[in-house]
Structure 1
Amino acid sequence: MNVLSIMLNRRGPARAAAAAAVLLLGACGAEKTMAPGAQSPQRVVCGSPAVAEIVFALGCGDRVVGVSDYTAYPPEARAKPSVGGLLNPNRERLLAVRPDLLVTQGRHEALAAFAHTYGIRFQSVPLDTLADLDSAIRAIAETLGVAGQGHALADGLCGELTVGDRDAPPRRVLLLLGRAPGVWTGLSTVGRDTFLGELLGLAGGTNVFADATGPYPHISKEALLVRQPEVILEVHPGGLTASQQARLLADWHIFADLPAVRQRRVHVLTNDFLLIPGPRVRQTARLLAAAIGGEARGE
């Protein structure tokens, strides 16, 4: 079970948040089918929001002729034709934009075979961890013939991600993905070997479920009492109304004995980039650091 299916099985804000969660599906390797010495591609389809953000950050947005559903950044990417979702691209639309390169994330054997059949170069990169992101930026840049920009972008990100207060002891952090107001079943968090779990550490926290099985484990509300988080971060990319946020925060009164609840360190984060393992992870790191190390939430 991945985080997209977890969140699509819910309703309301959690289901809306699944739009951004397509980025977290890049487990289990990568495929690359390209001719050695081939010319730099000029008509690129980006198969996920994260890939689109990487390509645009490399200065190659003018080559993009198609993007996946839910691609929203940068703004000029929204004007590009959509070729469908990461899991179910529309192959007629894909062929209609006449790409010479399809870049996506995760393992997609059927899509790789489709690209091969129609003579389209295919590249797929894992984007589960920060190391994956570093490698993906460099690999995509090389494919596009802009290796120098790739090294500069990746090196710059590496230098900007340690944003927590190094002099302060790390706080125990629980990160919840897309919980619906009033619902305490089917809770999902992040484990180790995920870019979000790694960012928690760089932002001054320690993940209370780092030892859980799998990258995005299900947890019980009883487990929250055992782990005793000092900071709780509820992630809902895509936005919530003020009343929805208030309901989420009010739900925590039943856990009055948790340090995070006692100290009013429960935060709802709604920024659209939170679940996207692309160049904006630097914003995610800063946002997490502010929530983890900042003052308690006011009344």
Structure 2
Amino acid sequence: MKKIFILFLFCFFAFHSFSKGVVSLLPSITEIIVEYGCANRLVAVSDYSVVPPDLKVERIGSLYNLNIEELIKLNPDIIFAEVSYKSQLSDIPLLRDKVVYLSFLKLNGVFESYRVIGEKLGVKKGKIQQKVDEIKNLLEKLNSLNKCKGKRVLLILNSQSNRFFACGDNYFSEIFNAIGFRNALKTKIPYPDISYESFYKINPDFVIVLSAEKPEKFLCQREALKKLNACVGKRVFYIYGEKVLHAGSGLKDLLNQVEVKLEQCFK
């Protein structure tokens, strides 16, 4: 009886130490973990991660201010990180074998990240496939409804200052291509910096601004852009929210907002 009790205690503590030993170093990763119902296994997340309000986790910095000392002290079982963290973490003996590197640059990388995170957390294969299929089905639905197929879209990330970052060769561009639009910006650079002059040179049919929050100043209110055809024709749309720039559940939020905001194309 005593042996059974000891075995029970061992299994109990082994399970709970495992179930609380995950660190996420990217908001998109955090969202996928939460989406899988594994938020209780998080012990620390990156600064901009969105977690359930009742979940108490440490904020451990981000790519440029990562608290490595605290990360070592936490001694997690798994550290999920984007590939750009490799230069910081690969040479630290106490951490390097615990890090799982993921890429969210392309859409296939997003799907692969869902698979890898799910497998590492012990999520059933059926549930992993379900989450990936939810995104693919939304893309197919919007493509079938899209009456503006072939239109050239310029995707802008945030617009709070006079500096603009566009979507070049990245998963945002692939998403809109899958829906049936064409990226008006032809470049292999994932997030190029563009000028006011570039807006007129590109002359897109639509401009879509993706932002974490509602902009203080809208694009077409800027004197330099008031004559842009998309501004004159009222074809500039804003999609904003806490998660729309993230590749987890925020991706679904983005797609749902696309259908609503670009009503002229989907109704």
Q: Report the TM-score when normalising by structure 2.
A: 0.80
Residue 152 in structure 1 maps to residue 130 in structure 2: yes
What is the deviation of 1:271? 1.2
Q: Which residue of 1 aligns with 2:176?
A: 200
The answer to whether the Cα contact below 8 Å between 1:173 and 1:205 also exists between their aligned partners in 2 is yes
Structure 1 Cα separation of the partners of residues 129 and 118 of structure 2? 8
What letter corresponds to residue 204 of structure 2 in structure 1?
P
Residue 227 in structure 1 maps to residue 202 in structure 2: yes
Structure 1 Cα separation of the partners of residues 95 and 62 of structure 2? 20
Residue 214 of structure 1, aligned match among 163, 177, 189? 189
Q: Which residue of 2 aligns with 1:174?
A: 154
Residue 62 in structure 1 maps to residue 32 in structure 2: no
Q: Which residue of 2 aligns with 1:276?
A: 246
Kindly indicate which of the two structures has a greater share of residues assigned to helix. 2
The C-alpha deviation readout for 1:88-129, integer Å capped at 9, x for no partner, is 321232233331111111141331332x42586210111111
The C-alpha deviation readout for 1:172-224, integer Å capped at 9, x for no partner, is 2112222335x3xx4321112x1111122234432110x12411112232232
What is the deviation of 1:41? 4.5
The answer to whether the Cα contact below 8 Å between 1:200 and 1:285 also exists between their aligned partners in 2 is no
Structure 2 Cα separation of the partners of residues 233 and 282 of structure 1? 16
What letter corresponds to residue 234 of structure 1 in structure 2?
V
Q: CA RMSD in A?
A: 2.6
The C-alpha deviation readout for 1:31-56, integer Å capped at 9, x for no partner, is xxxxxxxx994310111111111111
Residue 138 of structure 1, aligned match among 110, 115, 118? 115
Structure 1 Cα separation of the partners of residues 248 and 214 of structure 2? 19
Q: Which residue of 1 aligns with 2:5?
A: none
Unaligned runs of 5+ in 1: 1-38
Q: Which residue of 2 aligns with 1:16?
A: none
Paired residues for 1:19-58 under 5 Å: 41-42=18-19, 43-58=21-36
- SS of the residue corresponding to residue 156 of structure 2 reads strand
The answer to whether the Cα contact below 8 Å between 2:24 and 2:30 also exists between their aligned partners in 1 is yes
Q: Which residue of 2 aligns with 1:103?
A: 80
Residue 127 in structure 1 maps to residue 104 in structure 2: yes
The answer to whether the Cα contact below 8 Å between 1:191 and 1:214 also exists between their aligned partners in 2 is yes
What is the deviation of 1:167? 4.2
- SS of the residue corresponding to residue 76 of structure 2 reads coil
What is the deviation of 1:146? 1.6
Structure 1 Cα separation of the partners of residues 203 and 146 of structure 2? 22
Structure 1 Cα separation of the partners of residues 28 and 132 of structure 2? 14
Q: Tell me which of the two structures has the higher relative contact order, counting C-alpha pairs closer than 8 angstroms and 6 or more residues apart.
A: 1
Q: Report the TM-score when normalising by structure 1.
A: 0.73
- SS of the residue corresponding to residue 159 of structure 1 reads helix
Residue 249 of structure 1, aligned match among 214, 220, 223? 220
- SS of the residue corresponding to residue 23 of structure 2 reads strand
- SS of the residue corresponding to residue 294 of structure 1 reads helix
- SS of the residue corresponding to residue 160 of structure 1 reads helix
Quick check: which has more Rg, 1 or 2? Answer: 2
What letter corresponds to residue 189 of structure 2 in structure 1?
G
Structure 1 Cα separation of the partners of residues 263 and 205 of structure 2? 11
Structure 1 Cα separation of the partners of residues 83 and 208 of structure 2? 27
- SS of the residue corresponding to residue 262 of structure 2 reads helix
Structure 2 Cα separation of the partners of residues 190 and 138 of structure 1? 25
The answer to whether the Cα contact below 8 Å between 1:105 and 1:127 also exists between their aligned partners in 2 is yes
Unaligned runs of 5+ in 2: 1-14
